[in-house]
Amino acid sequence: MSTVLRQQSPEQNARRARAAAQLREFMPRAAVLTDKEDLHPYECDGLSAYRRLPWIVALPDTVEQVGRILRLCHEHDIPVVARGAGTGLSGGALPLEDGVLLSLSKFNRILEIDTANRTATVEPGVRNLAITDAAAPYGLYYAPDPSSQLACSIGGNVAENAGGVHCLKYGLTVHNVLGLKFMTMDGELITLGGKALDIPGYDLLALMTGSEGMLGVIVEITVKLLPKPERAQVVLAVFDEIEKAGDAVAAIIAGGFVPAGLEMMDNLAIRATEEYVKAGYPIGAVAILLCELDGTNEEVSEGIAQIRTLLLKQGAAEVRTAKDEAERLRMWAGRKAAFPAIGRLSPDYYCMDGTIPRKHLAKVLARIGELSKEYGLGVANVFHAGDGNLHPLILYDASKPGELEKTEDLGGKILEFCVAVGGTITGEHGVGVEKINQMCIQFTREELAQFHALKAAFDPKGLLNPGKAVPTLSRCAEFGRMHVHGGKLVYPDLERF
């Protein structure tokens, strides 16, 4: 899908010029972008198949400016889309052709590392990994680690409730946020919590987390820091049948283990990865499982020995334990590079993000295999086995007429199958614009109406990030005739999950 460059009417142009002039009354000229070449970098987020040139980009650097921008937009009924680092994978920060794109990139300061209370208070534009870097000298770290953590911002993490590979043990973003300051669309600053473990009133911390920029604009975040585990150790198990690998995961959980990471890859993903990063994966394996334990030295040693025995009993053809830290990192390097590696197999790929109850893994993979044959498109699978989050990657060539449409169709079928076995259409990437039609499958009319009522409680005029996350009821009625375009990643060199 190419950039939408819709001609604006003279009235629209005048309206835009007026809005820009009003913004420049309290912001420097360089912080209000209106020229086409300045707007281009903001036309998409990590899901680059969706592009739209923003109307105006505003780059505030104080909370007061954010408040004034929002009040101005509120008064003149101008919609607003907040944007962090722009690494999101569902088009949540896709700009509007008649609204302000509010970039929070200048809010990049770490305000406080409180070692006594084990918290970090940061501005929303701070990168995820920068928090861990700042906490590291004190033996602390920030647990959620989406694989774009080098680039993605904590504000975006909160907006999307980002995950990572350690969710089973350490939770998602929602489990690690203690306080938020956000602005409502009418420019009121709301403070939720701080460094205590809970807040009075309704749990708006949980509600704001994962709300995809629909309820407020986050301007400050306090997160929990954890002590860095004394030791982490990983084992790699090789399987010749998917079912055996799935059963092994169940056996690990039933055995009372809560691994820090538990990841599975299928043969296509293994081969692509091995060719790309030489992680030492067995290219003949039907599936491999990476299982990491962390904790004290004693706990990890005891646990790893038991897991080895258990995996062999579950029919693993081979079980390797990383001999040293370098080998441990190499084993993970393969998994972390799986997306770009698979990207090399094909001109384009489309990444899905369904979550399923683990017990249905074999069934879901079998169904994906059938669909893959039926559509004539390859599908590689990487799987956060610990928490059931499946990322099928559909290989296609966008330059072949009709292939993108076929891919979207196949992707939609996979997500619908995830819902059918009791799962969900998105585990960690968010709905954004990408999965908005599948929301119609996962939720009833009444549930969607409840979402809309909830949104209106925060933003009665519907000006924050309109058209994302929750479909209108009429859109759902049209779903099927609608057509949306599938995703292609920008930043292909960034690790992805």
Partner 1 sequence: MKEDNDISQQLAEAVKAAAQKRTPLTITGSGSKRFYAGDIEGEKLDVTGHRGIVSYEPTELVVTARAGTPLAELEAALADKGQMLAFEPPWFGEGATLGGTIACGFSGPRRPYAGAARDFVLGTRIINGKGEILRFGGEVMKNVAGYDVSRLMVGALGSLGVLLEVSLKVLPKPAREVTLCFEMPADKAIQTMNTWGAQPLPLSAACHAGETLYVRLSGTELGVQAARAKLGGKPMDKGNDFWREIREHRHSFFQNDVPLWRLSVPPAALPIDLPGKWLIDWGGAQRWLKSDASATDIRMQAEKAGGHATLFRHAKQNGATFHPLPAQLATLHQNLKRAFDPDGIMNRVVAV
Smaller CB separation from partner 1, 202 or 401: 202
217 binds partner 1 (CB under 8 A): no
CA atoms within 13 A on the CB side of 233: 22
Size of the site for partner 1 (CB under 8 A): 98
What is d(CA 184, CA 53) in angstroms, rounded to the nearest whole number?
25
User: Judged by CB under 8 A, does residue 430 bind partner 1?
Assistant: yes
Rounded-to-5 percentages of helix, strand, coil across the chain: 40, 20, 40
Which amino acid, one-letter code, is at 73?
A: C
56 binds partner 1 (CB under 8 A): no
Which residues are within 8 A (CB) of 351 and not within 5 positions of it... i.e. 6 or more apart?
89, 339, 391, 392, 393, 429, 487, 489, 496
For residues 27 and 165, which CB has a smaller minimum distance to partner 1 in the complex?
Answer: 165
Q: What minimum distance in Å lies between the beta carbon of 26 and partner 1?
A: 22
Q: Does 116 bind partner 1 (CB under 8 A)?
A: yes
* Whole-angstrom distance, CA of residue 434 vs CA of residue 353: 11
**Span near partner 1 by CB under 8 A; candidates 81-89, 134-142, 366-374, 404-412:** 134-142
Q: How many CB atoms sit inside 10 A of residue 99's CB?
A: 22
Element (H, E) at 191: strand 189-193
Q: Which stretch binds partner 1 (CB under 8 A): 71-79, 125-133, 333-341, 421-429?
A: 421-429
In terms of CB distance, is 41 or 227 closer to partner 1? 227
Distances (CA, A) of 454 to 103, 209, 214: 25, 14, 10
Task: Give the residue, chosen from 38, 302, 370, 478, that forms a contact with partner 1 under the rule CB under 8 A.
Answer: 302
Nearest to 65 by CA among 106, 26, 96: 26
Does the protein bind partner 1 through residue 403 (CB under 8 A)? no
- Which of 73-81, 156-164, 400-408, 475-483 is the region at the interface with partner 1 (rule: CB under 8 A)? 156-164
From candidates 5, 14, 456, 477, binder to partner 1 by CB under 8 A? 456
**362: how many CB neighbours lie within 10 A of its CB?**
16
Minimum gap (Å) between residue 476 Cβ and partner 1 = 13
Q: With respect to partner 1, which residue has the nearer C-beta, 3 or 191? A: 191
Residue from 22, 87, 103, 119 in contact with partner 1 (CB under 8 A): 119
Place of tokens 């009121």: 188
**Cβ 153 to partner 1, closest distance in Å?**
17
Within residues 353-392, the interface with partner 1 by CB under 8 A covers 355-359, 384, 386-389
* Residue whose token pair is 């409840």: 450
- Residue numbers 178-207 binding partner 1 by CB under 8 A: 184, 188-192, 194-204, 206-207
Q: What is the dihedral of CA 28, 29, 34, 37, to 10 degrees?
A: -110
167 belongs to the binding site for partner 1 (CB under 8 A):
yes
Which of the stretches 52-60, 221-229, 235-243, 282-290 binds partner 1 when contact is defined by CB under 8 A? 221-229
Which residues, in sequence order, are CB contacts of 153 under 8 Å at separation 6+? 84, 85, 87, 104, 105, 124, 125, 126, 127, 128
Shortest distance, position 186 Cβ to partner 1, whole Å: 10
Q: How far is CA 361 from the centre of its chain?
A: 21
The 465-494 contact track toward partner 1, x by CB under 8 A, reads ----xx------------------------
Distances (CA, A) of 6 to 53, 96, 253, 382: 9, 11, 53, 39
Token digits for 15?
């309206």
Tell me, residue by residue from 9 to 28, as one string, x for binding to partner 1 by CB under 8 A and - for no binding: --------------------
Q: Is 447 in the site for partner 1 (CB under 8 A)?
A: yes
